């Protein structure tokens, strides 16, 4: 069974030009997918073709190029809506990424709905992008920011949820799959609890959308955000999905071209969704590239990707547990997405990563933009291997061997 999965993986890997390259004379083993994924030829070709054949500004042009660009751009929106099962493509707003998505909600919905006496509830395992915007806004608007703590095993500690989530809570914002612990959080339970107190729900899908089938209607999130560059798409683009009535009543974020219906010297009227939130020339080629990434992922099959990563994670969890001095952060493989963060004795994660790099293995080292979760474990940083559809059990073996070497070197 592992053999067949690896076969398909090898075939897929061949579609990613960068995986053909060598690092320090070794085959590149790319295990930094949670930071950013690699891009298949299919995605690169679509963007190249756009620039070579149809490049023009969108929406406002009548000429052929502009019509082609507009069609390509809006078709990508329809594809994104289908990919996460949004009721309408008007609910797909293109951003620069997860970070801009959350900031957009903070600046618009947040500014219109939060004030002294209100509470926003996040968790201790959030990425900085789901902490800092709320801290900034809190300091301006005077609401209270609360955190759901985590257990020593790296799951949300929900024992006090009924205190933390209360009638004052206006928003519950949490990460779908943690980029440090791997933990996949219990969305139905959390959403249901939020509904009971009338709080809105924002889900950070940066680490879930690339790796598992997502249905925003089933998840029932009010807002859902993710980034293109982690899901085989280009940099510079991401998506904010929102429930229609919320998006309709929210004030705009940035002002400029395309987001207006009319502008006079005294006042402006806003355009309809999704344009109200897309001021200025958008990331046209990038949106089109993201559309191609969604096609690619759909062809591969999100179910298959999820199963493949589950298999790899179980395999890696076992293999890494055997490495002397290695301590895995977060829960058992069944409860996590395709990534494993760990420490190795006292060796600084940067040193681990540097040693692995000499063997062509790319992992991430640091706080992964999630200092509070590291604070929980009283560590400054960790090393993280994160998988994607093109990784194999052989990659995991190479990782483990190189880690053993690092342990000897610094031991």
Ligand X SMILES: Cc1ncc(COP(=O)(O)O)c(C=O)c1O
Which sequence positions are flagged as catalytic?
369
Q: Does 303 bind a second copy (CB under 8 A)?
A: no
* 179 is an interface residue for ligand X by CB under 6 A: yes
Q: From CA 66, how far away is CA 56, in angstroms rounded?
A: 5
Q: How far is the CB of 261 from other proteins (least distance, A)?
A: 4
Q: Least distance from C-beta 71 to other proteins, angstroms?
A: 5
3-state SS assignment for residue 141: helix
- Closer Cβ to ligand X, 84 or 355, answer by number: 84
Q: Which residue in the set 5, 136, 141, 161 belongs to the binding site for a second copy (CB under 8 A)?
A: 136
Which of these, 409, 396, 208, 370, lies nearest to 313 by C-alpha position? 396
The one segment of 164-172, 257-265, 293-301, 321-329 that binds a second copy by CB under 8 A:
257-265
For ligand X, the closer of residues 129 and 391 by Cβ is 129
Question: Which among 258, 376, 382, 372 is positioned nearest to 327, based on CA atoms?
Answer: 382
Provide the binding-site residues for other proteins, judged by CB under 8 A. Answer: 59-62, 64, 66-67, 70-71, 74, 88, 90, 260-262, 271-272, 347-351, 354-355, 358, 366-367, 380-381, 405, 409-410
How far out from the chain centre does Cα 302 lie? 15
Please give the structure tokens belonging to residue 15. 């579609």
Picked from other proteins, ligand X, a second copy, none, the partner binding residue 305 (CB below 5 to 8 A depending on kind) is none
- The correct pick among 369, 393, 405, 410 for binding ligand X (CB under 6 A) is 369
Contacts of 282 (CB under 8 A, 6+ apart): 58, 73, 94, 258
What is the residue whose two structure tokens read 């929900």?
158
Tell me the C-alpha distance between 290 and 228, whole Å: 6
Out of 252, 291, 330, 338, point to the residue binding a second copy (CB under 8 A): 252
Out of 79, 170, 176, 229, point to the residue binding a second copy (CB under 8 A). Answer: 229
Q: Is the Cβ–Cβ distance between 206 and 226 less than 8 Å?
A: yes
Span near ligand X by CB under 6 A; candidates 14-22, 91-99, 294-302, 379-387: 91-99
Give exposure, 273-284, as e/b (b: 16+ Cβ within 10 Å).
bbbbbbbeebbb
- Rounded Cα distance, 332 and 183, in Å: 9
Cβ pair 180, 329 in contact under 8 A: yes
Cis peptide before 48 (omega within 30 of 0): no
Using the rule CB under 8 A, give the single segment among 159-167, 212-220, 228-236, 309-317 that binds a second copy. Answer: 228-236
Q: What residues from 337 to 356 belong to the interface with ligand X (CB under 6 A)?
A: none
Residue 207 CB, nearest approach to ligand X (Å) = 5
Q: Which of residues 154-193 bind a second copy (CB under 8 A)?
A: none
Contact indicator for 364, 398 with CB cutoff of 8 Å = no
Least separation, in Å, of the C-beta of 398 and other proteins?
15
Q: Quick one: which of 188, 280, 303, 411 contacts ligand X (CB under 6 A)?
A: 280
Query: Does the protein bind a second copy through residue 144 (CB under 8 A)?
Result: no
Which tokens sit at 253? 């974020």
Work out whether 331 is an interface residue with a second copy (CB under 8 A): no
Q: Are 341 and 377 in contact (CB under 8 A)?
A: no
* Phi/psi at 54 (5° precision): -130, 10
As measured in angstroms, the least distance from the Cβ of 88 to other proteins is 7
Interface contacts to ligand X, rule CB under 6 A: 34, 97-99, 127, 129, 175, 179, 204, 206-207, 227, 257, 280-281, 369
């Amino acid at each position: 069974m592992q053999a067949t999965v690896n076969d398909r993986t090898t075939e897929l890997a061949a579609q990613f030009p960068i995986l053909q390259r060598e690092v320090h004379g070794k085959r590149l083993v790319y295990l930094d997918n949670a930071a950013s994924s690699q891009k298949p030829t299919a995605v690169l070709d679509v963007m190249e073709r756009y620039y070579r054949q149809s490049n023009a500004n969108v929406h406002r042009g009548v000429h052929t190029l502009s019509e082609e660009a507009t069609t390509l751009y809006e078709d990508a929106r329809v594809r994104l809506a289908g990919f996460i099962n949004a009721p309408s493509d008007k609910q797909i707003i293109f951003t620069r990424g997860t970070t801009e998505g959350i900031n957009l909600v903070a600046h618009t919905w947040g500014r219109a709905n939060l004030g002294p006496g209100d509470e926003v509830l996040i968790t201790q395992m959030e990425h900085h992008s789901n902490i800092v915007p709320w801290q900034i806004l809190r300091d301006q608007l005077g609401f209270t920011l609360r955190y759901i703590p985590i257990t020593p095993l790296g799951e949300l500690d929900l024992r006090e949820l009924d205190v933390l989530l209360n009638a004052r809570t206006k928003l519950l914002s949490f990460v779908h799959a943690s980029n440090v612990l791997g933990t996949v959080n219990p969305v139905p339970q959390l959403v249901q609890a939020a509904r009971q107190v009338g709080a809105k729900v924002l889900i950070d899908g940066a680490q879930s959308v690339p790796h598992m089938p997502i249905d925003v209607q089933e998840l029932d999130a009010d807002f859902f955000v993710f980034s293109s560059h982690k899901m085989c798409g280009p940099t510079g683009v991401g998506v904010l999905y929102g429930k229609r009535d919320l998006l309709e009543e929210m004030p705009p974020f940035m002002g400029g071209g395309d987001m207006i219906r009319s502008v006079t010297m005294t006042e402006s009227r806003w355009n309809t969704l999704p344009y109200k939130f897309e001021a200025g020339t958008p990331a046209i080629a990038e949106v089109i590239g993201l559309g191609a990434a969604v096609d690619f992922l759909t062809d591969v099959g999100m179910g298959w990707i999820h199963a493949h990563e589950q298999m790899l994670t179980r395999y890696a969890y076992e293999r890494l547990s055997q490495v002397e001095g290695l301590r895995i952060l977060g829960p058992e493989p069944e409860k996590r997405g395709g990534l494993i963060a760990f420490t190795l004795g006292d060796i600084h994660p940067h040193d681990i990563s540097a040693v692995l790099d000499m063997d062509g293995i790319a992992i991430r080292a640091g706080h992964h933009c999630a200092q509070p979760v590291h604070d929980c474990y009283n560590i400054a940083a960790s090393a993280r291997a994160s998988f994607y559809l093109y990784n194999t059990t052989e990659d995991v073996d190479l990782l483990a061997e190189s880690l053993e070497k690092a342990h000897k070197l610094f031991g």
